[in-house]
């Protein structure tokens, strides 16, 4: 069977499962629509959170990114897992104890202010639209590269699938499809990883292969990789060119950003209690760690394998006489390019330019020792995608990887959609503009805004290449979440004295400074030499988060303390099982 | 404040202390071992990986997971001790 057949089969099957779940898990009340009825078991919420969290970028790009960055890639590994510690210890159980529906809901009630609520809505929408556009773009790429469907049609099909379960089932539908999507994506990720680990290190467990020796030798894999990349003129794999200060700030911005991301936080509203929220955060991190500890191993193996098979390989122009040419090159004692190279070349993910006209691919770093120029630029997504073929796995595994990538993109998109729709229908319409609205009407508006959000994000995804902010998810989404949302939620729980004036000042400070800094250095020609304290736009969210916290504390101390009912509410959410006056 | 009982105050104090201790571990495993002390730790090896590098790409994640597990167990214990289990 061809890989095209298997890809259609797996994508068709998994989409069928998602739609069936959607039809089964329809939401009939706003409570079911926003928080899946507050009764999702912790382990299932852990899986759903993991799928919600791991996006197209985690699935397709992260291993490749680490393969190129080496130690520098650690910021993503530590940043995107360490945030769960903050979430579990500082936010999730208390927000669940508070017992409402959305992040702006907490901000609005805790700070007894519609203005604070609306600012939180703006932050949540900015974060979520930036994030979701990247997911829709990922869906378009997957469809156009593997299913022979055009980019825009791919986005439309993906959007339609998400539309079915998000609009019908709300959070309930999204939760149970995410559970299924987690199973698909983790299986699709680890199966090829196990085989490539066996090929490179002879160890079936990638995490152990990572610290093990090269197959059939007693040289450590990472030591060999360090030697190989430095010989080609790259920096050592286990070191970095970035400054420690920047590495520190990016890691911190990603951690605090993770903890402040609305689509992650709302997952913890779906469980039954604060205790269940804690447990659920543990399960979520465990399911995430399954992929995140495999990714650096895949990255290192893939870099090793790429250099072994592609560097100094003789290029073959045509696919038709590939076998004959391979035999001919081998008989001359030279190395032919591998079969997977030809298969993936047509996707544009490998860009070979024979600068010295010798018909051989030379892969070199910036400090090339033999003065040969680099001739090949591999796209970072190629490593996860080509893994099954590099490891000589059967064609069905490729279909599985494509279905896994789509599962990762769709599950994240759906989670974000829930944030967008609840921010509009609940926080903006019900709680700010039309407080007398009936539950039936609110549910209708929730579905309508989910529908509009699907359409808008599909359009943003379709025009992603001409919208520069889409490529800056890491800087924008995490920066804003860290600098504007994390401080007010954290202080709202741990500091009773925090008040309305301080919350508004803190959110605005974090939001405005972060957005201006990122825009200046990303789009308006700011240069690296001018970075404040040597901190890149990706890491600046951490600095402005500290500024926002200090601003909040100062403003709170020079303005009146919050009303007594609010102080009582804060005490209630700290103690398990208490019912507050405001509820 | 008078609306808060002595029991609640003591409970909340223990929670904050427990949380602070775990956050110190969180900081040391990631920012400490993986970034600040990386170069020093890289002279030691775990299997074939330099230790600081390994913490940044693997070890920190395992420590995070252990922290959350200990937090869950510890909080259940504190809730029982102060009788907030419902």
Query: Percentage of residues in chain B with pLDDT exceeding 70?
Result: 93
Give dist(CA A574, CA B3) in Å, integer. Answer: 14
Does residue A569 register a pLDDT over 60? yes
Q: B68 vs A90: CB contact, 8 Å cut-off? A: no
pLDDT at A471: 62
Question: Worst-scoring range by mean pLDDT, A55-64, A197-206, A355-364, A574-583?
Answer: A574-583
A69-114 confidence digits (pLDDT tens):
889 889 999 999 999 999 999 999 999 998 888 899 999 999 999 9
Q: A571 vs B3: CB contact, 8 Å cut-off? A: yes
Q: Answer whether B36 touches A (CB < 8 Å).
A: yes
Give dist(CA A280, CA A36) in Å, integer. Answer: 15
Q: Considering the domain boundaries, does residue A256 fall inside one?
A: yes
Is-contact A89 A449, C-beta < 8 A?
no
Greater confidence, A169 or A526?
A169
Greater confidence, A534 or B8?
B8
Query: Hey, which residues 49-68 in chain B have their CB within 8 Å of chain A?
Result: 49-50, 53-54, 56-58, 60-62, 64-65, 67-68
Q: What is the DSSP string of A504-549?
A: HHHHHHHHHHHHHHHHHHHHS---GGGSGGG--TTTHHHHHHHHHH
- pLDDT-derived band at B82 (thresholds 50, 70, 90) equals confident
Taking CB atoms and an 8 Å cutoff, what residues of chain B touch A577? 84-86
- Determine the structural domain holding residue A401 and report its residue range: 3-301+395-464
Q: B31 vs A238: CB contact, 8 Å cut-off? A: no
Q: Considering the domain boundaries, does residue A273 fall inside one?
A: yes
- pLDDT-derived band at A496 (thresholds 50, 70, 90) equals very high
Taking CB atoms and an 8 Å cutoff, what residues of chain A touch B86? 576-577
Residue A278 is nearest to which of B4, B22, B75, comparing CB atoms?
B75
Q: Considering the domain boundaries, does residue A481 fall inside one?
A: no
A340-397 confidence digits (pLDDT tens):
888 778 777 788 888 888 888 888 988 887 878 888 888 877 888 888 887 778 888 8
3-state SS string for A448-495: HHHHHHHHHHHHHHHCHHHCHHHHHHHHHHHHHHHHHHHHHHHHHHHC
Closest chain A C-alpha to B67 CA, distance in angstroms: 7
Closest chain A C-alpha to B63 CA, distance in angstroms: 9
**Mutation target vs A (from B17, B20, B26, B56; most A CBs, 10 A cutoff):** B56
Between the alpha carbon of residue A99 and those of residues A2, A37, A71, A270, A571, the distances in Å are: 51, 11, 41, 9, 14
A199-237 confidence digits (pLDDT tens):
888 899 999 989 988 888 888 888 888 888 888 888 888
Q: B67 vs A568: CB contact, 8 Å cut-off? A: no
pLDDT at A429: 82
A287-308 confidence digits (pLDDT tens):
999 999 999 999 999 888 888 8
Does residue B33 register a pLDDT over 50? yes
Element (H, E) at A205: none
Taking CB atoms and an 8 Å cutoff, what residues of chain A touch B38? 71
Does residue B2 register a pLDDT over 50? no
Closest residue of chain B to A244, computed from CA coordinates: B35
* Number of domains, chain A: 1
ipTM: 0.94
Q: What is the CATH number of the domain that holds A58?
A: 1.20.1730.10
Does residue A508 register a pLDDT over 60? yes
Q: B71 vs A89: CB contact, 8 Å cut-off? A: yes
Q: Considering the domain boundaries, does residue A566 fall inside one?
A: no
pLDDT at A348: 74
Q: Considering the domain boundaries, does residue A507 fall inside one?
A: no
Q: Considering the domain boundaries, does residue A489 fall inside one?
A: no
Q: B57 vs A74: CB contact, 8 Å cut-off? A: yes
Greater confidence, A537 or A465?
A537
Q: Considering the domain boundaries, does residue A222 fall inside one?
A: yes
Does residue A125 register a pLDDT over 70? yes
Is-contact A234 A307, C-beta < 8 A?
no
pLDDT at A256: 96
DSSP alpha helix (H) spans, A111-231: 114-146, 151-201, 206-210, 221-231
- pLDDT-derived band at A580 (thresholds 50, 70, 90) equals very low
Is-contact A574 B79, C-beta < 8 A?
no
Give dist(CA A51, CA A47) in Å, integer. Answer: 6
Give the CA angle between residues A146, A63, A477 to the nearest 5°.
90
Q: Considering the domain boundaries, does residue A110 fall inside one?
A: yes
Closest chain A C-alpha to B57 CA, distance in angstroms: 5
Q: B84 vs A220: CB contact, 8 Å cut-off? A: no
- pLDDT-derived band at B85 (thresholds 50, 70, 90) equals low
Residues sharing a CB contact under 8 Å with residue A543, sequence separation 6 or more, in sequence order: A249, A532, A533, A535
Q: Answer whether B69 touches A (CB < 8 Å).
A: yes
Closest residue of chain A to B60, computed from CA coordinates: A78
Cβ-based contacts under 8 A for chains A and B: 136
A134-159 confidence digits (pLDDT tens):
888 888 877 777 777 788 888 888 88
Does residue A446 register a pLDDT over 90? no
Chain position carrying tokens 């030798």: A217
Does residue A518 register a pLDDT over 90? no
Q: B60 vs A577: CB contact, 8 Å cut-off? A: no
């Amino acid at each position: 069977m061809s890989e095209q057949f298997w890809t259609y089969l797996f994508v068709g099957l998994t989409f069928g499962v998602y739609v069936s779940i959607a039809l089964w898990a329809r939401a009939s009340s706003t409570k079911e629509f926003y928080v899946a009825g507050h009764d999702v078991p912790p382990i299932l919420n852990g899986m759903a959170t993991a799928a919600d969290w791991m996006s197209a970028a985690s699935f397709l790009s992260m291993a490749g990114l680490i393969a190129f960055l080496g130690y520098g890639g650690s910021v993503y590994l530590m940043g995107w897992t360490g945030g769960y510690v903050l979430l579990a210890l500082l936010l999730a159980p208390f927000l669940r104890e508070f017992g409402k529906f959305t992040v702006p809901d907490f901000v609005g009630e805790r700070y007894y202010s519609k203005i604070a609520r609306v600012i939180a809505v703006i932050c949540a929408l900015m974060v979520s639209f930036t994030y979701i556009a990247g997911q829709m773009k990922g869906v378009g790429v997957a469809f156009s590269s593997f299913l022979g469907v055009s980019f825009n049609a791919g986005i439309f099909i993906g959007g339609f699938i998400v539309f079915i379960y998000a609009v019908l089932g709300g959070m309930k539908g999204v939760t149970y499809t995410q559970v299924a999507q987690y199973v698909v994506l983790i299986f699709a990720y680890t199966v090829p990883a196990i085989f490539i680990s066996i090929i490179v290190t002879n160890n079936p467990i990638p995490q152990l292969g990572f610290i093990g020796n090269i197959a059939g030798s007693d040289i450590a894999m990472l030591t060999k990789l360090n030697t190989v990349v430095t010989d080609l003129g790259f920096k050592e794999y286990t070191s970095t060119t970035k400054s420690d200060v920047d590495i520190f700030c990016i890691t911190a911005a990603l951690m605090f950003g993770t903890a402040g991301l609305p689509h992650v936080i709302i997952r913890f509203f779906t469980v039954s209690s604060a205790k269940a929220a804690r447990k659920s955060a543990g399960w979520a991190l465990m399911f995430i760690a399954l992929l995140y500890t495999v990714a650096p191993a895949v990255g290192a193996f893939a870099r090793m394998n790429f250099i072994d098979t592609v560097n100094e390989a003789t290029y073959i122009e045509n696919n038709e006489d590939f076998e004959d040419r391979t035999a001919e090159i081998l008989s001359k004692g030279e190395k032919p390019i591998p079969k997977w190279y030809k298969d993936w070349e047509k996707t544009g993910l490998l860009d070979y330019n024979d600068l010295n006209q010798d018909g051989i691919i030379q892969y070199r770093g910036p400090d090339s020792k033999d003065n040969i120029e680099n001739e090949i630029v591999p796209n970072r997504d190629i490593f996860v995608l080509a893994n099954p073929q590099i490891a000589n796995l059967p064609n069905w595994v490729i279909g599985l990887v494509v279905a896994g990538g789509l599962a990762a993109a769709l599950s994240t998109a759906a989670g974000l959609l829930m944030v967008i729709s609840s921010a509009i229908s609940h926080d903006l319409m019900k709680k700010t503009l039309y407080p007398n609205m009936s539950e039936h009407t609110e549910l209708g508006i929730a579905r309508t805004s989910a529908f509009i959000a699907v359409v808008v994000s599909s359009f943003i995804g379709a025009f992603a290449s001409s919208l520069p902010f889409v490529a800056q998810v890491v800087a924008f989404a995490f920066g804003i979440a860290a600098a504007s949302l994390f401080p007010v939620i954290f202080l709202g729980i741990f500091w009773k004295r925090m008040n309305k004036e301080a919350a508004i000042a803190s959110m605005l400070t974090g939001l405005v400074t972060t957005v201006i800094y990122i825009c200046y250095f990303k789009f308006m020609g700011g240069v690296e030499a001018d970075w404040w304290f040597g901190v890149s736009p990706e890491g600046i969210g951490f600095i402005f988060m500290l500024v926002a916290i200090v601003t909040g504390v100062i403003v709170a101390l020079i303005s009146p303390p919050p009303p007594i009912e609010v102080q009582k509410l804060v005490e209630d959410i700290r103690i398990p099982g208490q019912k507050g006056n405001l509820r | 404040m008078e609306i808060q009982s002595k029991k609640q105050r003591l409970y909340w104090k223990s929670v904050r202390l427990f949380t602070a201790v775990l956050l110190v571990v969180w900081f040391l495993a990631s920012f400490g071992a993986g970034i600040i002390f990386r170069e020093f730790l890289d002279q030691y090896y775990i299997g074939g990986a330099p230790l600081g590098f390994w913490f940044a790409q693997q070890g920190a994640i395992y420590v995070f997971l252990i922290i959350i597990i200990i937090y869950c167990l510890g909080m259940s214990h504190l809730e029982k001790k102060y009788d907030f289990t419902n």
